[in-house]
Structure 1
Amino acid sequence: MVTTGGQGGLRELDSRSRDIFRRIVEAYLDTGDPVGSRNISRLLAAPLSPASVRNVMSDLEAAGLLYAPHTSAGRLPTELGLRFFVDAMLEIGDLTEGDRSAIEGRLKASGTGKSVEDVLTEASQTLSGLTRGAGVVLTQKADPRLRHIEFVRIEPTRGIVVLVGDNGTVENRLVDLPPDLPASALQEAANYLNAHIRGRTLSETRAEVERQRAARKLELDTLTARLVDAGLASWSDAGGSRPQTLIVRGRANLLDDVRAAEDLERIRALFDELESSEDLIELLGLADAGEGVRIFIGSENKLFGLSGSSLVVSPYRDTEARVIGVVGVIGPTRLNYARVVPMVDYTARVVGRLLG
């Protein structure tokens, strides 16, 4: 018999109800289709008539664990049911040697002579390929020591800041320019910064520029000062939080789960949600506070409230055990959690070793 009243009550399912519920969820994760009582009765170890199975399914539905889609005689797990299954019944498998070799081999190859972003992009692509979901990686941008900075105007009020690191990396960032900025101010700002930037990080450079500006305000005219502020503020947050990089690969894989017109609308909603990177960064940031893998199912978070997708994420850490980013997989709620969870966990540990 099923008792309600939150997760505590749901955990009190008797063995027969738990067995029937588990088989319905496993069938859903495998096929995505509703499961009827007749099929379930054939799968049970102890003989039970379809009528008896239907009675249990009705109790599970009353408890909020199952629902009947449309007019189907079968049942599917609700989001609450999936959460209960994941928390109380999921048996996490171990990765095969083939999966371990694929992850480690591809990430180590990407790390040979490549940038941090190359490694993270490969991690996202690897997870996407192995899970048939969309792989996601979120990491803090590095704060490299700089060799050179340059400002390039591309429109009357838009420009690009070109930053060259001591390690040879080159990064560009769009900035807004004051509408009355003369062309000479671009070069003046670059000359001023290059005289103070070599060997310093952006945050160190900003602190030094602010110190010198306070002592020698007359050396910069008002417009050049505004440009310096715009260029540095876009790269080094004065509030102390560092900018973040978001990488998503394999979005097309999510289309493989499309079964009907409403599914296509669900996927389109997810694509729109993925474009809202601020929400995704906020969601992935929740993984920073926890140890190991975290699972978000459907509307448990505002980001996937419309599309009903799931997210499995794990933080990766540096050699001092500090969280420096997260990796994960986005997919339908019928993800193969038993396989995806250890895959995300192992990928996070490999990325941590390579980048720590």
Structure 2
Amino acid sequence: MVSATLLDGKTQLQRLDERSRTILRRIVESYLATGEPVGSRNLSRALPMALSPASIRNVMSDLEQLGLIISPHTSAGRLPTQLGLRLFVDGLLEVGDVSMEERRQIEAQIAYRRDKSVDQLLSEAGELISGLSHCAGVVLAEKQVARLRHIEFVPLEPRRGLVILVDEDQNVENRIINLPEGLPPSALQEASNYLNTHLRGMTLAEAKTEIEKSLNAAKAELDQLTQKVIKAGLAEWSGVSDDRKSLIVRGQSNLLKDVTAAEDLDRIRQLFDAFESKQDIVELLGASETAEGVRIFIGSENKLFSLSGSSLIVAPFRDQTRHVVGVLGVIGPTRLNYARIIPMVDYTAKLVSRLIG
């Protein structure tokens, strides 16, 4: 499990002395830059401390026993393992900031205009972050509904009803809900009247927040069964099932760059299949919505990437009520430029929050 891996990794990082940490950092940095194993002789030239190749080999042997690096061939070169890469990202990585040039580029490309829908804005954000990172850009968001114009509850069966929602752009959508037992026919009309009186002109997120605050005060106005209908209707509309999520993927072709081996190509195709089926990636991105900031998934820490050998860097964005309405980020090889991409994802998510807030 990821949590166990992270716990073991943090414990091991605390046990490493400064020399071991420095050598591990250099091995990972070399891997991220070249993708090739690095040997003790090359490390001795790059380290800030004076160490002989023999001393470095001793440290590398210790790191290998801890499962942090591995020798892919019989040569003396070493590569980081997934655990070693996780330790680097969590404790040794020096994350910079987004450059002024990149900020200007991000803000210019996804600037808000009155004639631009939220869906267009999110699509541009995915395209932008794909281009800047040279990875696949992904955005998962709640399907956008304009401000409410009319809500109506219609009985279908004794225990089933239909919620009809009309927004200010004249779009109409329906949802089936379960009705409480013993509900009189008048309760559905009463629920419709109450919502249309109190929630007209609000977004769904605003409506849900308002209802949660006001239903207790409305006890004298509404009976308990009618309150249950109202809660069921808004809960169904603001739920988190896959059909209420919009998945945007941009720049998938970037994942094919530098892929030469047939087995590597096959792994990337499996990831493309996951994009098409949507379910696994929606589940993964949806789990990231609870994070306060950037989350990073590396390789087999998640079943989606266990075969493709990919990494995901993702951050949530929010609406004006501070409600998380989606996440955006990048998917790429584990050999990502984490120091550059992490702040880029974070900055773009915060910018999107400002623009849709």
TM-score of the superposition, structure 2-length normalised? 0.73
- Select 2:139's aligned residue among 126, 137, 140: 137
Query: Are residue 44 (structure 1) and residue 47 (structure 2) matched?
Result: yes
CA RMSD of aligned residues (A): 3.4
Can you give the 5+ residue segments of structure 2 that lack an aligned partner in the other structure? 1-6, 151-164, 175-195, 208-232
- Select 2:93's aligned residue among 86, 90, 94: 90
Equivalent residue of 1:303, what SS? helix
Pairwise CA distance, 1:47 = 2.2
Partner of 1:118: 120
Residues 245-284 of structure 1 aligned to structure 2 (within 5 Å): 245-284=246-285
Pairwise CA distance, 1:38 = 1.3
Pairwise CA distance, 1:14 = 1.0
Partner of 1:152: none
- 2:143 & 2:340 partners in 1: Cα distance? 30
Pairwise CA distance, 1:341 = 0.6
- 1:308 & 1:261 partners in 2: Cα distance? 14
Query: Are residue 241 (structure 1) and residue 244 (structure 2) matched?
Result: no
| Stretch of structure 1 that moved more, 273-282 or 119-128 | 273-282
- 2:302 & 2:270 partners in 1: Cα distance? 14
Residues 1-356 of structure 1 aligned to structure 2 (within 5 Å): 6-108=9-111, 111-144=113-146, 145=148, 165-167=167-169, 238=236, 241-242=239-240, 243-356=244-357
TM-score of the superposition, structure 1-length normalised? 0.73
- Deviation track 1:294-323 (CA, whole Å, cap 9, x = no partner) reads 111111111111111000010011122111
- 2:8 & 2:278 partners in 1: Cα distance? 36
- 1:264 & 1:143 partners in 2: Cα distance? 39
Q: Structure 1: which amino acid aligns with 2:333?
A: P
- Deviation track 1:200-220 (CA, whole Å, cap 9, x = no partner) reads 99999xxxxxxxxxxxxxxxx
Going from structure 1 to structure 2, the CA distance change for 1:26 and 1:245 (only over 3 Å counts) comes to: same
Equivalent residue of 2:331, what SS? strand
Q: Structure 1: which amino acid aligns with 2:102?
A: D
Q: Structure 2: which amino acid aligns with 1:291?
A: E
Pairwise CA distance, 1:334 = 1.0
CA contact (8 A) 2:166 2:173 kept: no
> When the two structures are aligned, how many residues end up with a matched partner?
292
- Deviation track 1:18-73 (CA, whole Å, cap 9, x = no partner) reads 11110010011111111111111111122222222122111111101011224443
- 1:94 & 1:81 partners in 2: Cα distance? 24
Identity %: 57
Pairwise CA distance, 1:259 = 4.2
Can you give the 5+ residue segments of structure 1 that lack an aligned partner in the other structure? 148-162, 174-196, 205-234
